[in-house]
Amino acid sequence: MPLTLLTRRDRYRPLLDRLERLFQNMDRAYDAVADRYGFHCDGCVDNCCQTRFYHHTLLEMLYLQEGLRTLAGDPLRDIRDRAQAVNQQMAAADQAGSSARIMCPLNQDGRCRLYPHRPMICRLHGIPHELHRPDRGIIRNPGCDAFFEQCRKQGKTDYIPFDRTPFYREMATLEKKLRHETGYAKKIKLTISQMLEILTDNAHEIH
Residues that bind ligand SF4 (CB under 6 A): 49, 104, 106-107, 112, 118, 122, 192
* Beta carbon nearer to ligand SF4, 49 or 127: 49
Residue number with CB closer to ligand SF4 (62 or 122): 122
Q: Which is nearer to ligand SF4, 87 or 107 (CB)?
A: 107
| Helix, strand, coil % over all residues of the chain, rounded to 5 | 60, 10, 30
Please report how close the Cβ of residue 124 comes to ligand SF4 at its closest, in angstroms.
11
Cβ 186 to ligand SF4 shortest distance, Å: 22
3-class SS at 86?
helix
118 vs 129 by CB, closer to ligand SF4: 118
Q: Which of 109, 128, 169, 144 is nearest to 33 (CA)?
A: 128
Whole-number minimum distance, CB 106 to ligand SF4, in Å?
Answer: 4
Helix (H) / strand (E) element for 39: namely none
Query: Cβ of residue 107: shortest distance to ligand SF4, in angstroms?
Result: 4
Closest CA to 64 of 27, 103, 8, 113: 113
In this structure, the number of other CB atoms found within 10 A of the CB of residue 15 comes to 21
